[in-house]
Amino acid sequence: MARRSSQFICQSCGAVSSKWTGRCEPCGEWNSIIEEQTGAGIGGGPGKPPRSKGRVVELVGLQGDAKEAPRIQAKVAELDRVTGGGFVKGSALLVGGDPGIGKSTLLIQAAAALANLGHRTVYISGEEAIGQVRLRAERLGLAQAPVALAAETSVEDILATLEASPPPALLILDSIQTLWTDQVDSTPGTVTQVRASAQAMVRYAKRTGTTLVLVGHVTKDGQIAGPRVVEHMVDAVLYFEGDGAHQYRILRSVKNRFGATDEIGVFEMTGKGLVEVANPSALFLGDRSTTAPGAAVFAGLEGSRPLLIEVQALVAQSSLGTPRRAVIGWDSARLSMILAVLEARCGVRFSQHDVYLNVAGGLKINEPGADLAVAAALISSLSGLALPANCVYFGEISLSGAIRPVAQAPARLKEAQKLGFEQAYCPEGNLKDKMANGFSATGLPELGDFVAKLAVRSGASPQD
Ligand code: TYD
Ligand code: MG
């Protein structure tokens, strides 16, 4: 008799082991391992009998007919930008984000926009009842949009429903964690179920040319819950981020087989749903104090879009043996590095001071190009002198104290000028292009030069 086999699968990282343990070895998560039955069927693995003979497929060369992937645009500029110019037909997207961030709102708005443009759109909610979705649509003023709606969680029922009519242009499944298929023997939300359901739906999308959008929840450590495996199955992964204290939301592409990654779209959550923000720099710099020491404006880059962000530092005398270093919105290891370089190469000492660093507006910066702005904010706070209000900073600092060039300097400078800034401190290597009139950019080879320039301006020597 065939033995019923089971596996132990980590619900956090998807690692499979043959026995239960309290802690998952590969990802270090506690209590995340669950026993799941492995049977035949979709994604079930070795349950199927092996096929006796394979089919011969034709091998072709790289050259030949290749058309640009056909796209459907929602005509929502911020959304179309992130998807790389519109949803690609027959592709699958995963939209991840914290609960309550606005994923359902974003997608019902996108669904309505596409439906109003004449594309057949199906929205299947596994989390909310039809009444709830309708209520939201009504509140958003979208009740008239010809979106086909259902509340369903069974993959077989969803597929049967879809097969009964011509395939839609856009299919939204909210969320992947609620779907289940009776082909596998696990509870909904487990890795095996999510993987099998996603696989079945992606297969439908590829076969019919429907664009599939899957909604996925994010765990507390910021990964799409359960399976990273779903991220490999889909063509694009978008994260919807933001924090509770702020109204704006950022849609970021972290993987895109049909476009650039790291592209962002900025929205604002209002009483009437999500509204596009065409000029995010103005939003993030909106309520900045120009006279307080410790604030520097970083001319950053998100995907292909320049973005001005305020970096705030507070350097205060410490009463602790080991001074505190606290960072919000930036890498704390990177802050330690900048502090060490300032100390070792420029003689600016922070060893008796607590250092707090914050990126305004709750944004997160990943770019090393922010180094120079961080250094400027730190020095400004330490010396108690505000930096000029009309100046932006960017540049990567190396361990030797050299300031390295960053990508797309002209775009950054142009954005700064557009927003009324008049000067910039940037890497010397970035100063190849001619500056526009009325804007002065100072190229810096070394961090030491920068510290000396700030010291001259304040009429003092670097603090010790
Ligand atoms: P929702 O789309 O349900 O989030 P998710 O699907 O990611 O869990 O968004 C819910 C939040 O958005 C809720 O806290 C209320 C807020 N919201 C508004 O502020 N304005 C609106 O018009 C809507 C529809 C929601
Ligand atoms: Mg939702």
Contact 374, 408 (CB under 8 A): no
Same domain, 298 and 446: yes
Last residue of a domain, one of 257, 278, 299: 278
Q: Count of CB atoms within 10 A of residue 18's CB?
A: 8
Tokens describing residue 340: 């060490």
**Mean pLDDT, range 327-333, rounded to an integer:** 93
Mutate to test the pocket of ligand 1, among 94, 101, 105, 125 (most ligand atoms within 8 A of CB): 105
Record the tokens describing residue 269, joined without a space: 């959550």
- Residue 164 lies inside a defined structural domain of this protein: yes
Domain co-membership, 205 together with 162: yes
Q: Are residues 148 and 270 in the same domain?
A: yes
Q: Is 273 in the pocket of ligand 1 (CB under 6 A)?
A: yes
- Distance, in Å, from the CA atom of 260 to the CA atom of 258, rounded to the nearest integer, reads 7
CB 77 within 8 A of CB 105: no
Structurally, the chain folds into a number of domains equal to 3
- Count the neighbouring beta carbons within 10 Å of the beta carbon of residue 366: 13
Q: How far is it, in rounded angstroms, from Cα 128 to Cα 150?
A: 10
- Picking from 223, 244, 278, the residue at the C-terminal end of a domain is 278
CA distance 10 to 34: 6
Best mutation site among 123, 269, 275 for ligand 1 pocket (most ligand atoms within 8 Å of CB)? 269
Domain identity same for 194 and 317 = no
Predicted pLDDT of residue 462: 44
CB 374 within 8 A of CB 311: yes
Q: Assess whether 169 and 273 both reside in one domain.
A: yes
What CATH number corresponds to the domain at position 320? 3.30.230.10
Q: What confidence tier does 75 reach under pLDDT thresholds 50, 70, 90?
A: confident
Same domain, 125 and 27: no
| Together in a domain, 223 and 237 | yes
Q: Is the CB of 101 under 6 A from ligand 1?
A: yes
Residue 62 forms part of a structural domain: no
Peptide bond into 175 cis (omega under 30): yes
Report if residue 59 sits inside a domain.
no
Residue 378 belongs to some domain of the structure: yes
pLDDT computed for residue 40 by the predictor? 47
Residues 303 and 274 in one domain: no
φ, ψ of residue 315 to 5 degrees: the values are -115, 115
Residue that the structure tokens 């089971």 belong to: 6
> Do 295 and 218 reside in the same domain of the chain?
no
Give a yes or no: residue 463 inside a domain: no
pLDDT tens-place string over residues 82-119? 998 899 999 999 998 888 889 999 999 999 999 999 99
pLDDT, position 97: 86
Range of the domain at 298: 283-458
**Same domain? 367 vs 229:** no
Q: Strand, coil or helix: what is 148?
A: strand
The verdict on residue 314 lying in a domain is: yes
Q: What is the pLDDT of residues 302-316, one digit of tens each?
A: 877 888 999 999 999
Of the candidates 254, 278, 302, which is a domain's last residue? Answer: 278
256: its two tokens: 């895109």
Mean of pLDDT values over 448-464: 70
Q: Are residues 340 and 255 in the same domain?
A: no
Helix, strand or coil, per DSSP, at residue 325: strand
